Amino acid sequence: MKIKLLGAGIDGLSLEQCVDRIGEFIASGAPRLIITLNPEMLYQAQREPELLRLIGRADLVTPDGVGIVWACRVMGEPVSERVTGIDLMQKLLERAGEKGWRVFFLGSAPGVAEDAARNAQKNYPGINVVGTHHGYFKPGDEPNIIKIIKSAGPDLLFVALGAPRQEQWIDKYREILGVPVAVGVGGSLDVLAG
């Protein structure tokens, strides 16, 4: 059951429960959008109805802010904990190594996704990064990027283009891409790249 906060539906799951749910999404295969919802994006969505609708189309929305967790609790809704993009990505990479999920990194400056892939291979036993692409592309480059992602065939697509552009990008292309799970992760590839 979603918790309604300022028009957005939030899932009050713990980090572990989020990863379990995402595992079910991967098993089912239909393209899903995951949003870690921070206060800035929720605030922006108050003035942009289309962004609020996009949040409504997401399959899993985590509370990425102590203020959001607090507000849900004040309304009497049980919310386990704050679930940030970096925490979710790290836990998913751990699980991906165990389960053999195929991973693609899209976004950040040229070279960053490759460094992130190298570090992922060092830090997460069994991880299979099937492709990377930087996030400084023009709209005209998108058909080629979509082709690259599709032919790599990931189960999990991490998109780091900044919020809410990454969520809009996933929403626009998720049916064409057909990747079971795509999640916007903001600056997390920079963190993983070190």
Q: Which residues bind ligand UDP (CB under 6 A)?
A: 107-109, 135-136, 160-163, 186-187, 189-190
> Toward ligand UDP, which CB reaches closer, 109 or 146?
109
> Toward ligand UDP, which CB reaches closer, 76 or 194?
194
Q: State which residue has the least CB distance to ligand UDP.
A: 135
* Min CB(66)–ligand UDP separation in Å: 17
> Toward ligand UDP, which CB reaches closer, 65 or 107?
107
What gap in Å lies between CA 72 and CA 80, rounded to an integer?
10
* Min CB(29)–ligand UDP separation in Å: 27
Look up residue 131 and give its DSSP letter: E
* Min CB(128)–ligand UDP separation in Å: 22
* Min CB(134)–ligand UDP separation in Å: 6
Q: CA distances (Å), 191 to each of 3, 41, 88, 148, in order? A: 30, 21, 13, 24
Tokens of 3: 């918790």
User: Cis link prior to 164 (omega < 30° from 0)?
Assistant: yes
Single out the residue of 129, 42, 57 nearest to residue 92, CA to CA.
129
Phi, psi of 44 (to 5 degrees): -60, -35
> Toward ligand UDP, which CB reaches closer, 96 or 116?
116
**Does the CA dihedral 82-166-154-188 come out positive or negative?**
negative
Single out the residue of 84, 69, 80, 77 nearest to residue 163, CA to CA.
84
> Toward ligand UDP, which CB reaches closer, 155 or 190?
190
* Min CB(125)–ligand UDP separation in Å: 26
